[in-house]
Amino acid sequence: MSMFPSFGQIAGALDIAALPTLRGRQYSSAGGFLSAARLATDPIGTFTLTLTNVVVGSRVNISPVAGGSPFYDDLAAASSVVVPLSVYAPGNPSNDLLIKVRSASGSPTYQPYETQATAVVGAQSVFVSQIPDE
């Protein structure tokens, strides 16, 4: 009896059938080492974005610059808005963030404020300078 488990024994233990057949998360047993390969869309960490100086009541929207569903959309309850976000592998367009802050429904109104940020593992603060529109 071999001192090493067979491929079939390992495969059975890892439930390979539950993984995508062509691409995606995979385990490798090559050389007797086990590793996990993540998808490009899998987060690799967290990014805490803090917006400061936000006019209370403003709507804050954080979306990918490339477009798509927002990561965050809510009314600012305080002048500092802390938004936890995911960080993706370098080169993932989801790391490029478009930040919109708008307040034009009640007086005083403000001009739309837009800026961009790049998600990195860690934290970053963005000072929001909303200009009164009246």
Partner 1 sequence: MTITSTDFAISGGGAITNVGGSTVYTVLELHAWLQDLADNAAPSADDNVSILGANPSQLAGKRNASRPAALTLLNGVTIDNAVSQRFKFGSIEQNSGNDLWTGINTIGSGLAGRSHYVVQNGAKYNSGTKWWAAGPVQALFKVKASGSLIAAGIVTVFSREWGYAYSHFDVDCSAGSEQVAALSVAADANITRLTGNYTGGTNTVTSTSPSTVVTLTPGTVSRTLGGVTKNYKGIISWTGTARLNEVWQALQWGCTEASNATLNGVAGWQYRKLDAAYTENQAAPFGTYAGGKWFVARGWWVDTASLNSLDLQGYQLVSDDGTTVSPPISIGISVGSMVAGDYVLVGKDDGAGGFNTTTGITSTGSASATTVTLSGAPAGDVPTGAGVIRIAGNAHSYTGISGVTVSGLSPAVPGGGYSAAATWFPYLDKVAASSGESSGSFIYAADFTARVRVRNGGGSPIQPFETTFSVTTAGGSVNAIRASDT
The strand pair at 122-127 and 113-118 is best described as: unpaired
Stretch that binds partner 1, among 1-9, 19-27, 82-90, 106-114 (CB under 8 A): 106-114
Residues that contact partner 1, how many (by CB under 8 A): 18
The residue count for the chain: 134
Least distance (Å) between residue 27 CB and partner 1: 39
Q: Which residue lies nearer to partner 1 by CB, 14 or 59? A: 59
Considering the rule CB under 8 A, would residue 58 count as an interface residue with partner 1? yes
CA distance 32 to 11: 13
CB of 124 to partner 1, least distance (A): 21
Distance CA 45, CA 54 (A): 26
Computed on alpha carbons and rounded to an integer, the radius of gyration of the chain in Å comes to: 22
Residues lying near partner 1 in the complex (CB under 8 A): 58-59, 61, 63, 70, 73, 100, 102-105, 109, 111-112, 114, 132-134
